[in-house]
Copies of this chain bind each other. A is one copy, B any other.
Amino acid sequence: MSKQPVIILVGPQLAENIGMSARAMMNCGLYELRLVNPREDHLSDKAISASSNAEEILYNAKVYSSTEEAIADLNFVYAATARHRDQIKSVYNADTAAIEMNKIMAEGNSCGIMFGCERTGLSNVDVSLANAIINIPLNPKHSSLNLSQAVLLIGYEFYKTQIEKPEVHLEMNGTTLAPKDKIIKFVQHFEELLENCGNYRAGEKREKMFINLQNIFTRNQLTEQELNTLYGAINYISRQN
């Protein structure tokens, strides 16, 4: 039983789009591709070249002569479609579908996602074979996507559910943040240099400027190395170097 959804391209027209879909699949860690009556050869030079090193997926792809055969062994199938369909069916966004797929597969079911051909998308009969619809939320004034881009967006949402991702992280490049005392000493040093200039402000204004400087260099999350760079730079411009 597969733990990844199978990608099913129904009647794809262009070899280039089949190749680019394979590339998008590999970007998203998806490897099982099925093709229903592709118009062009999925192993042509055009397809292989467009796959951009994802040709492994093309070589392993299975070709079927009907949608029914292509989905025969699957337990749950989604239809990716941008158009409104006159069918009573649950419609998922790409992200909620991805979460749902994981639940379905965790219970031992296999999953597939069908994509229609470039010109017309999935037929109504193909959509009626699906358990549910995936609709990618996009600008309603311009929601037409290239086939491989539709595969990419849905694959991307699935990939996001497969990884633990840090919300935001600070890239530290092997160093650590400078300890506070070094920041404080640096700001004091900065102020001394300013004092040595002729027209440094006095009193309240000076206090305010000091606090501003302190904030600027504290908020920055400086490393020791960066602090050394700053020391060098301000010493140089103050000609004390």
Contact A149 B93 (CB under 8 A): no
Contact B52 A144 (CB under 8 A): yes
Copies of the chain in the assembly: 2
A92 at the interface (CB under 8 A from B): yes
A87 at the interface (CB under 8 A from B): yes
- A163–B52 alpha-carbon span in the complex (Å): 34
Annotate A162-177 by CB proximity to B: 1 below 8 A, 0 otherwise.
0101111111110100
A125-166 interface with B by 8 A CB criterion? 133, 136-139, 141-146, 148-149, 152-153, 156, 159-160, 163, 165-166
Given A152-B149, A153-B156, A165-B93, residue A142 in contact with residue B88 (CB < 8 A): no
Chain B positions within 8 Å of A136 at CB level: 156
A142 to chain B minimum Cβ distance, whole angstroms, is 4
Closest to A164 in B: B137
Contact B142 A53 (CB under 8 A): yes
A181 at the interface (CB under 8 A from B): no
Q: Which 6 A-B pairs have the closest CB atoms?
A: A26-B142, A29-B139, A27-B138, A86-B173, A96-B167, A91-B171
**10 examples of A-B residue contacts, CB within 8 angstroms:** A53-B142, A88-B171, A88-B175, A88-B221, A88-B223, A90-B168, A93-B168, A148-B149, A149-B149, A152-B152
